[in-house]
Amino acid sequence: MRSVGVEEELLIVDADSGEPVALAGAVLAAAHRSAEAEAEGDGADHRDDGPDFEKELQREQLEFATRPVTRMDDLADEIVRWRGESARHAATVGAVVAAVATSPLPASPTLSKGERYQWLGEHFGLTAQEQLTGGCHVHVSVESDEEGVAVLDRIRPWLPVLLAMSANSPFWQGEDSGYASYRSRVWNRWPSAGPVDAFGSADRYHEQVRAMVGTGVLRDEGMIYFDARLSATYPTVEIRVADVCLEASTPVLLAALVRGLVETASREWQEGTPPARVPTSLLRLASWRSGRSGLDGPLIHPETMRAASPETVVQALYHHVEQALKDQGDAERVRAGIAHLLERGTGARIQRELLRTEGSLAATVAACASITADGRPGS
């Protein structure tokens, strides 16, 4: 069975005001001290027991990556545990973490230290300086680059559905953006971001990556910000289209669907079924629609490229990967997860409801931080 791993980018905010704070270095130091103390306490080597905590572009962010697992129950446990650990480490410096994909409150981000981040700031100006967004990246194992590219070519039309399901960034600089995922709009300011054409082979994929880096616009292959790409570090395809999700159950749902997409696409490739010939221009429109609507308005159906209800589109995704989900033992979990998501709504809907009930963006952030820390569903 294919392994799955998830990376989540969390927002670090002041525990009282809810405003983003540039404390990533202090939080990472707290995590390092905690790991050292645990190792000294029992004499064991815990390097492979926990998540890979990392700094991000901005000092107001913290990223963690789960271990690769094959069971979705294990992935769920990992995400809940390491969200809780992130919150624990942040608390040592008077902060909390919130799984929101943009800051509800006004923010003036601070670029992380280091040559790479300074290069990005100098070359991309406001695009880099304002880029305080949190994504959810799902890695699924593949046997080879050739299989990976075959998968990338075949999942293209379905990626906007994942964006709609994950939408969790309605606010920007203290205002309602009118979008369910405004992160997706901000993220697509990068020149290498978004949907791409089908490649046809691993050789053509790598040729295009080399050509893009060769222009000098991108610093390196790490700046290949396609909605889905071959990982430069692991033997995986990396689906990067989603917002970081408010409720811990949602990234597990996404991971199960992504693994189903990868497996379905691989089977199609092995059977000789060609990719759907959907122009990238239409995929850009579908992504915009998903970012605007989330699950609270029309979406673009991946098979017809026409407007349809979110319920119809999400069920189409389920039916597309249903056999793979059954074979992997994930079908019941995914059915229940979809039903919950359609009824409860995305993080964007929950954030807007919290604003109405709590009365302020600061209280909204506090409620989101509480949901992040303890893994409970939004109420």
Quickly list DSSP for 27-73.
Answer: HHHHHHHHHHHHHHHH----TTTS-EEE--SBTTEEEEEPPPBS-HH
In DSSP terms, 229 is beta-bridged to: 238
Is it the case that residue 35 has pLDDT exceeding 90?
no
| Residue linked to tokens 């992997």 | 328
Weakest-pLDDT range from 6-15, 35-44, 93-102: 35-44
Q: Read off the tokens for 43.
A: 């004499």
User: What's the pLDDT band for 379 if we cut at 50, 70, 90?
Assistant: very low
Q: In whole angstroms, what is the distance from residue 195 CA to residue 225 CA?
A: 9
- The share of the chain scoring above pLDDT 90, in percent, equals 91
Instruction: Kindly tell me if the per-residue pLDDT of 47 is higher than 60.
Output: no
Report, as an integer, the average pLDDT of 3-11: 98
What does pLDDT average to over the chain? 95
In this prediction, residue 201 carries a pLDDT of 98
pTM of the model: 0.95
pLDDT for residue 186 is more than 80: yes
The answer to whether 320 and 158 are in contact (CB under 8 A) is yes
User: pLDDT tens digit string along 206-248?
Assistant: 999 999 999 999 999 999 999 999 998 899 999 999 999 999 9
Domains and CATH numbers, the chain: 4-374 (3.30.590.20)
Provide the pLDDT for residue 317: 98
- pLDDT over 70 at 42, yes or no: no
Here the tokens at position 239 are 């689906």
User: Which residues, in sequence order, are bridge partners of residue 226?
Assistant: 194
Alpha carbon of 340 to those of 136, 287, 311, 320: distances in Å?
19, 23, 12, 19
Confidence of residue 139 (pLDDT cuts 50, 70, 90): very high
Which residues in the chain belong to E strands, given as ranges? 4-14, 52-54, 61-65, 95-98, 135-141, 171-172, 175-176, 228-230, 236-243, 299-300, 307-308
Would you state the pLDDT for residue 50?
Answer: 57
Taking residues 260-267, what's their average pLDDT?
A: 98
Q: What are phi and psi of 164, to 5 degrees?
A: -60, -40
More confident position, 45 or 146: 146
